[in-house]
Amino acid sequence: MDFNVKKLASGAGVFFTRAVQFTEEKLGQAEKTELDAHFENLMSRADCTKLWTEKIYRQTEVLLQPNPSARIEEFLYEKLERKAPSRITNGELLGQYMQDAAKEFGPGTPYGGTLIEVGECERRLGTAEREFLQTSAISFLTPLRNFLEGDWRTISKERRLLENLRLDLDACKTRLKKAKVAEAKAAMAPDFQETRPRNYVLSASASALWSEEVEKAEHELRVAQSEFDRQAEVTRLLLEGISSTHVNHLRCLHEFVEAQAAYYKQCDFHMQELQKELGRIPNAFALNSTHSTVPAGSASEGISSPVETDTLNIEEVQPPATGTRKAKVLYDYDAADSSELSLLADELITVYTVPGMDSDWLIGERGNQKGKVPVTYLELLS
């Protein structure tokens, strides 16, 4: 118990001494040991690294998980050291809803068939998104968090200890300075004509006491200086390690960019495939049902029109005298059969329609080539 009381009293004394030294420095009444310019630059660089790493980490979290409630849930699971339950992505959920709706509307209908194709694409996009989130969390977010919660906490702890030792060092310097001033006053030769022998003896005794105080203060100063120098070197090594942190974060940033590029490439691939599938859906669901037929007994009975049959006779289709337009191709398109025209993105073609043709298709011409083209792949020019 006595030991604890003494330890508590000693700690309180050290804290009070540091508080006095800190206050006097702020008031300009005490000198402060300044660190060298290189050390100051290292600390400034470390503070800047911590500030921007934290901002990048927080905003990346928002990018990967915009829902704040979900982020809080993941944070709580992490603090409880429990695995967060797997969460379905919005794309996967939308795809599931579309496919369920297609079952209700009928997969054989144009709308139901399109819902199935789009729903499957959305499901694949959601799967790609989940893989991207997992990869980014491991390769980018985790290293940033490890720095903020590990390396930076160690650096902050050592810097606080260095600051406390600096206050102790400057307090020792102040005590030594005051002790030397008092010793100098006590060592002044007394006037034997005006000073009594008793006072002379007291003055000599005081001078000896102050000499002991000076020696004690000098010893404390040497110890404080040694501890400060040792701690400064430890802190310097940690601060210089920020360069290695930058190299590590640079590598992680490259991995994040690669994951992001792979994710968007997958999304582009799935959307291109979806466009192709949607371009073929009118063939299966709409085109056959909208082809006109010649009524029996009419004057044209027995004479087939180029747009009456399931497969257009492209060679017999002639462009109208008026009504042709230029169109820019938006996406690549591979012809499904000989009646269709393959397209390349950004090329210009001539398009027109023929009577009885489904509105989702046009006839396209490029030089001597001719065939059906889907409207969704074109941008009609004036």
- Between the ranges 10-19, 132-141, 194-203, 209-218, where is the mean pLDDT highest? 132-141
3-state secondary structure of 6: helix
- The yes/no answer on whether domain 324-381 falls in CATH 3.40.50.920 is no
Name the pTM for this structure.
0.62
- List the domain boundaries for the chain: 12-190+206-280, 324-381
pLDDT digits (tens, 9 = 90+) for 173-229: 888 888 777 777 766 655 444 455 545 444 556 566 767 777 888 888 899 899 999
Region 332-351: mean pLDDT is 89
pLDDT reported for residue 12: 62
CATH T-level topology, domain 12-190+206-280: Substrate Binding Domain Of Dnak; Chain:A; Domain 2 (1.20.1270)
**pLDDT tens sequence across 232-281:** 999 999 999 999 999 999 999 999 999 999 999 999 999 999 998 888 76
Q: What is the per-residue pLDDT for 292?
A: 38
In the predicted structure, residue 368 carries a pLDDT above the cut 90: no
Q: Is the pLDDT of residue 5 over 60?
A: no
- The secondary structure element, H or E, covering residue 26 is helix 2-26
**Range of lowest pLDDT (46-55, 286-295, 361-370):** 286-295
Q: What percent of the chain has pLDDT over 90?
A: 40
Give yes or no for residue 326 having a pLDDT over 50.
yes
Q: Can 12-190+206-280 and 324-381 be said to share one CATH topology? A: no
Q: What is the DSSP string of 60-121?
A: HHHHH---HHHHHHHHHHHHTT-PPPP---HHHHHHHHHHHHHHHH-TTSHHHHHHHHHHHH
With 80 as the cut, is the pLDDT of residue 296 above it?
no
Instruction: Provide the pairing of β-strand 378-380 with 361-366.
Output: unpaired
Task: Give every CB contact of residue 241 below 8 A, 6+ residues apart in sequence.
Answer: 151
What share of the chain in percent tops pLDDT 70?
A: 75
Question: How confident is the model at residue 282, as a pLDDT?
Answer: 54
